[in-house]
Structure 1
Amino acid sequence: MERCAMIFSDHVSAHGRAAPSLGFIVNPVAGMGGSVGLKGTDGEAIVREAIRRGASPLAGQRAAKAITRLTASLPQVNVLTVAGPMGEQVAREAGIEPSVLNLSHVGSSTSSDTRKAAQSMAELGVDLILFAGGDGTARDILSASRNQVPMLGVPAGVKMHSAVFGTTPANAGQLAALFLAGSPRALLRDAEVMDLDEDAIRAGTVSAQLYGYVRSPFERRLVQNAKAGSVPGENEALNAVARQVAEGMRDGTIYILGPGTTTRRVADALGIPSTLLGVDAVLDRKVIGLDLNEQALLRIIGGRQAEILVSVLGGQGSLFGRGNQQISAEVIRRVGRDRIKVISTAEKLISLPSGALQVDTGDPEIDTMLTGHIPVITGPNRTMLVKVRI
């Protein structure tokens, strides 16, 4: 590592000043469990199961969008990364010649590998660690860096409840560039690092935990907040909405119920079982599939008419791309924008920090299709038109 440190510290900008330094870490297996309904990819056994179900790595592609946007805005930046798929491959494919950590004890993509890389980057004094992953990756970097260096996440996981993530990969890259360039728009804040217990999720319960705070760049439009829970008084309104939605279901139409307690209320109103953090399908007021992955949803839809029922992720305003990756861009394309029903309380919408809903499906065409204004059901016979943006 000594040689890497020497080479890394010698890099200067074209103006003779030391160029800003970026630690770049990619968790290549992050997000693989999303579309196949695994709620995450923490642990080697879950990664193997995701591959068995046909999942393919997407974190590298999302990391590439971020690093490309960063270097387009800030060409003079020293990038320190990890060999192979944990960063070097993505950087070189983006046209960057990075310094590569010589850590012989680092393997390929385990939690331990991430921590070792983050610790080395913190010790070498990088200005920012930009990582591609989810909440588990954020936890690992927080633990290893001991809050010695700011960090910013490229959203690439299944679970992204922490407040360290950009709203999209490109926005994460733009925010990183603003921060490294010293822009007054990119302020540092104390951001929550949170995570859910994946085993508890698969068992049908939610067990969220705050693991700490980290200094993270912030610009309201470019970064998400931590997920927020319900506030008192919402239950009655949501129950009334759920009853109305259930009563209005048409025979012969397939209804895809997204994850969360809000959509679970619709299932409760129908008197049918549901998956708290999974995606279910209903036909003629009966369950035809529980905890479905992307491929199962596509098979069920076939050429039939379908609708999607989803809720808003409190605090973040995420509509698609956070915790509901089973409802993929292709599923949305098959169903159509006009057959998406969004349920939320007016209070949750009013409290959105950006005043808009966010989409990040990974497909630019579908993300663009979803932008504009969408009606959100907020009460019996009440809707609000809310802006959707990328």
Structure 2
Amino acid sequence: MHVGVVVNPIAGMGGRVGLKGTDGKLEAALERGADPWAPDRARRALDRLAELAPDATVSTVAAPMGERLVRAAGFKPERVVDPFDDPMPAVDVGDVPTETTAEHTRVAAERLAAAGVDLVLFVGGDGTATDVASALEGDDTPMLGVPAGVKVYSSVFGVSPEDAAEVAVRFSRTERREVMDIDEDAYREGEVVPTLRGIAHVPVAENLQASKQTASGTVESLAEGVAADIRARDGDGVTYVLGPGSTVGAIKSALGFEPSPIGVDVWRDGAVVARDAAESAIVDELDGEAVIVVSPIGGQGFVFGRGNPQLSPAVIREAEVQIVASRAKLDTVRTLRVDTDDPALDESLAGWVRVRVGKFETRMMRIV
């Protein structure tokens, strides 16, 4: 087995600081104190790959796009491709990454495919997936994503970094799957319109995520019921961390305020105390009893880890979790999933949970 590894070192950095992505926003993310996230996700995948296939042949990309991480996992790269040759701009390879470009990713993927890898294992989000798919267009080399972006709608990613490594080792055939992406500027304004960016050859496996789907069905009764329960506790000092998306957005509207549709809003004692809050602002408000209200992504079933990185392990550990969803949305998923970037927390969240689907009704679902 010959695996090609390419890492987008800045993928996902804008998420926890409330930027909904990093495309064109790296400087702003760094100013808000964002830390690199993708390298840690890559390390988890590579460590698992080393456990399962220590003798695998690995080719990778010059730092900061994979080489140091591959070596740290114990592999000696057969080939290190360099996408930073002129005329493309040089990239600072210090501890804090500077902005690598889509062209760097495309060149890296092209050169890995030319090196004869059996699979391009990339680390990033939908933008990275689009770049890799573009580079491999017309080539039968399969691709597989380690999820490390803010929005991960495409069906070319493993459910977790470890799952991606397991798929890379064990797959025996491929199928054509969708690569989706959205306009991040429109996304920051609350408009979510996934667009098909390409079709890629992807390993066939159970532990791959599905494409995001949009659920139909009314949520008015659900929103009214949850909002009534929240209002009943106004004055008790309970902090409600209200996640992104249209379902929880309907609850925010029922509470009487204009929601930030893809952001996290914080409510306490009858008032919004933080709007479109980054992780740090949410943590600052967690003093006493707290409840996170969140809805899974239709089609995928992710409760945490897709589209809501502000709801970090530091936030989740300090609050009760209430999951809400329309019946129509739950009909699009068989199980719920979490990918918090904290395996111990993921394990603690796993199991059967009660999901509120109406004013009073609930449905049992399993987080796997």
Q: What is the one-letter code of the residue matched to 1:380?
A: K
Partner residue of 1:196 out of 161, 173, 182: 182
Q: Which residue pairs with 1:67 in the alignment?
A: 46
Q: What is the one-letter code of the residue matched to 1:345?
A: S
Provide Cα deviations, 1:153-203, integer angstroms capped at 9, x if missing partner: 000111100000100000000000112xx3xxxx41221111111111112
What is the TM-score when the length of structure 2 is the normalising length?
0.92
Contact 1:273–1:287 (CA under 8 A) maintained in structure 2? no
1:178/1:366 Cα in 2 relative to 1: closer, same or farther (>3 Å)?
Answer: same
1:242/1:101 Cα in 2 relative to 1: closer, same or farther (>3 Å)?
Answer: same
Partner residue of 1:145 out of 136, 148, 154: 136
Q: Which residue pairs with 2:94 in the alignment?
A: none
Is 1:309 paired with 2:289? no
2:50, 2:73 → 1: CA distance? 9
Provide Cα deviations, 1:292-318, integer angstroms capped at 9, x if missing partner: 0000001111x2211111001011110
2:120, 2:19 → 1: CA distance? 28
Contact 1:71–1:177 (CA under 8 A) maintained in structure 2? no
Structural mapping, 1:143-292, within 5 Å = 143-148=134-139, 149-179=141-171, 182=172, 187-220=173-206, 222-231=207-216, 234-235=217-218, 238-249=219-230, 250-251=233-234, 252-292=237-277
Q: Which residue pairs with 1:330 in the alignment?
A: 314
Three-state SS of the structure 2 residue aligned to 1:248 is helix
1:218, 1:275 → 2: CA distance? 37
1:316, 1:67 → 2: CA distance? 24
1:244, 1:285 → 2: CA distance? 16
Answer 1 or 2: which has greater helix percent.
1
1:162, 1:124 → 2: CA distance? 26
Is 1:112 paired with 2:103? yes
Is 1:300 paired with 2:288? no
CA shift for structure 1 position 204? 2.3
Give the paired residue count: 351
Contact 1:147–1:214 (CA under 8 A) maintained in structure 2? no
Q: CA RMSD in A?
A: 1.4
CA shift for structure 1 position 147? 4.6
* Structure 1: 4+ residue segments shifted above 6 A: none
Query: Which residues of structure 1 form unaligned runs of 5+?
Result: 1-19
CA shift for structure 1 position 55? 0.8
Partner residue of 1:85 out of 48, 64, 82: 64
Contact 1:297–1:331 (CA under 8 A) maintained in structure 2? yes
Q: Which residue pairs with 1:136 in the alignment?
A: 127
Q: Which residue pairs with 2:4 in the alignment?
A: 23
What is the TM-score when the length of structure 1 is the normalising length?
0.87
Three-state SS of the structure 1 residue aligned to 2:35 is coil
Contact 2:179–2:198 (CA under 8 A) maintained in structure 1? yes
Q: What is the one-letter code of the residue matched to 2:143?
A: M
Q: Which residue pairs with 2:327 in the alignment?
A: 346
Q: What is the one-letter code of the residue matched to 1:360?
A: D
2:181, 2:291 → 1: CA distance? 30
Q: Which residue pairs with 1:127 in the alignment?
A: 118
